[in-house]
Structure 1
Amino acid sequence: MKQTFNELSGKVALVTGGTKGAGRAIAERLSNAGAQVIITARNKPEIANENHYFISADLSTPTGTQKVAEEVFGKFGSLDILVNNLGGSETKAGGFAVLNDEEWERTIQINLLAPVRLDRVFLPKMIEQKSGVIIHIASIQGKLPLYDSTLPYAAAKAGLINYSKSLSNEVAPKGVRILTVSPGWIMTTSSEKMMERIAQSSNISKEEATQSVMDALGGIPFGRPAQPEEIAELVGFLVSPRAAYLTGTEFVIDGGTIPTI
């Protein structure tokens, strides 16, 4: 969605995992609103955007965090917006018994400790300038876990949601806003490919494969997964001056998937 206003002009924003999926959509949304956008990932984006400054880093390690911090401060001096979007699960299905310590630790490093470390290096400068916004991209699995296949991921996202609320209470009086966005299923390029694989292996249509996954989630009342741009639009609003009084809140964007209030 092309933005026709410049409400983030003069702001410097960092989007982790910003080369694909929702991360790329968020980076483009903030850039369209006038921000200078920095993106990080382990690998360069397949399609480069000349408006985005890319830093290659593995944020699952303290060394990767330090590299990003040094480059951001060295190149831009400060940071106004941090979107901790990096996350994901690569653990195998089978429940608790098939997962070892290494798989738990890797998942927690990516989904919980990576944003904690980034917050720790960028928050002091935000507090010093008495302004800044940090967005933690969590997941509805923080409240609606799928124990068979993503047990560590769900636990890490639940921890991120709790941490985000606690952090907001600490830094809100100092001028920094902390917010959480918890998406449901997003139809990214990776999801599209997964639907194709399911359809092929089960000899069904792609639409039927999509419906089978929605059924496994307990249904999506809206009738479809989210588009990356829809997640990005919410983030774009939350980091803008229009959301100046919002902090410490989790925003669920799931098409109605979570069945409780």
Structure 2
Amino acid sequence: MDETSSPQESRTPAPGTAGPGTSAPTNARPLTGRIALVTGATRGAGRAIARELAAAGAEVHCTGRSAPGDLSDYDRQETVEETAELIRAAGGTAHAAVVDHRDIAQVTALLDRIEDMHGRLDILINDIGGEAYVEFDTPLWEYEFDRGMRLFETGYLTHLITSRCALGLLIRNSGGLVVEVTDGTREYNAEHFRSTVFLDLTKTAVDRLAFAEGHELRPHGCTAVSVTPGWLRSEMMLDHFGVTEDTWAAAAAANRGRTDVVPPYEFGISETPALLARGIAALAADPERARWNTRSTSSFELAGHYGLTDVDGSRPDTWRFMAAFETLPVESIETDEFR
């Protein structure tokens, strides 16, 4: 299949759920026997993806830079070992490793360990973002160069380095999957400047990496795809806006039409990391996953295709909402229409 074909021809249900027009699958752990590597698994989307893959039966290697007493640049308390502990507590199998994926020697050593342990790698999730170095709406000539390059290195080069080290192992078995997690669909980013040159280049490069990888992986029966969440309601974002999972919706709704308060009204379209994680786990379990090869997709599209919802039963369509938000008065937009 070429990259212009639509995956909507396939209707394989997600693990533990029923897709459109299907009954619930009998195999609740369809990824049993698969070996997965999830980078950036300390918190947010990476942690959720690692947990969802493990819940579906995969043995998951979780990496991040945060360890007790040695926090990453986000200066938060979550650690990659906590992610592995959460997986184990739920009955899954996980291994934690503190790895700086900008350092090819560290990544090579990680993949050597995975090869020694298993002799295979079936799923690679590149989910390192670099958002700690973003300076929104700062033009290139004013952006601190070292900080901008740190964004590019963390948000893109980590993906390239990890794939360079991992794909030789992944192609040993047909059916391998690479997911490049980025920000924005290919269609959206093609028409929108993403605030700063460094951020724009970083996120579009990640998508292009998946496109290019897919071409090289196709002869080996493997698949690469770029996936974006919508507005991710992560632990860090909730803390940034001073809200919780219990209060965010009411707080956003109360701020309709205002730009001087947080959280903004459009935060009402946000989604938890679970929606993205559920979609990626379903994609990994899909025997026809090659239909997605080289494509750009979103948590919303995956959820619709595999019959999934977020933890609250919603299915937020962030990118359609953002397009409407650009052209219509904010007072006329109901976030519920996009959930």
What TM-score does the superposition give when structure 2 sets the normalisation length? 0.65
Structure-1 separation of matches of 2:166 and 2:323? 36
Q: 1:140 — aligned with what?
A: 184
The answer to whether structure 1 residue 163 and structure 2 residue 209 are counterparts is: yes
Amino acid at match of 2:213: L
| Secondary structure of 1:108 counterpart | helix
Task: Provide structure 2 residue ranges, at least 5 long, that are not aligned to the other structure.
Answer: 1-13, 17-26, 68-78, 244-249, 300-316, 325-339
Q: 1:186 — aligned with what?
A: 232
What is the aligned counterpart of 1:153 among 175, 179, 199?
199
| Secondary structure of 1:43 counterpart | coil
Question: Is residue 15–residue 85 contact of structure 1 (8 Å, CA) maintained in 2?
Answer: yes
Q: CA deviation at 1:61?
A: 2.2
Q: Which has the larger radius of gyration?
A: 2
Per residue, is there more strand in 1 or in 2?
Answer: 1
What is the aligned counterpart of 1:116 among 147, 154, 160?
160
Q: CA deviation at 1:196?
A: 1.1
Number of matched pairs: 248
What is the aligned counterpart of 1:42 among 60, 65, 75?
65
Q: 1:245 — aligned with what?
A: 290
The answer to whether structure 1 residue 105 and structure 2 residue 169 are counterparts is: no
What is the aligned counterpart of 1:76 among 109, 113, 118?
118
What are the superposed Cα offsets for residues 204-247 of structure 1, whole Å, 9 maximum, x if unpaired?
Answer: x843688668x99x986x94201110010111111113443321
Q: 1:26 — aligned with what?
A: 49
Q: 1:86 — aligned with what?
A: 128
Q: 2:333 — aligned with what?
A: none
Question: Is residue 185–residue 297 contact of structure 2 (8 Å, CA) maintained in 1?
Answer: no
Residue 177 and residue 27 in structure 1: after superposition, are their counterparts in 2 closer, same or farther (change >3 A)?
A: same
Structure-1 separation of matches of 2:269 and 2:173? 42
Q: CA deviation at 1:2?
A: 8.7
Structure-2 separation of matches of 1:140 and 1:55? 29
Question: Is residue 15–residue 30 contact of structure 2 (8 Å, CA) maintained in 1?
Answer: no
Amino acid at match of 2:181: I
Residue 29 and residue 10 in structure 1: after superposition, are their counterparts in 2 closer, same or farther (change >3 A)?
A: same
Q: CA deviation at 1:100?
A: 2.7
Q: 1:201 — aligned with what?
A: none
Q: 2:309 — aligned with what?
A: none
| Structure 1, 223-232 or 241-250: larger mean CA deviation | 241-250
Question: Is residue 196–residue 206 contact of structure 1 (8 Å, CA) maintained in 2?
Answer: no
Residue 223 and residue 56 in structure 1: after superposition, are their counterparts in 2 closer, same or farther (change >3 A)?
A: same
Question: Is residue 8–residue 35 contact of structure 1 (8 Å, CA) maintained in 2?
Answer: yes
Structure-1 separation of matches of 2:98 and 2:45? 18
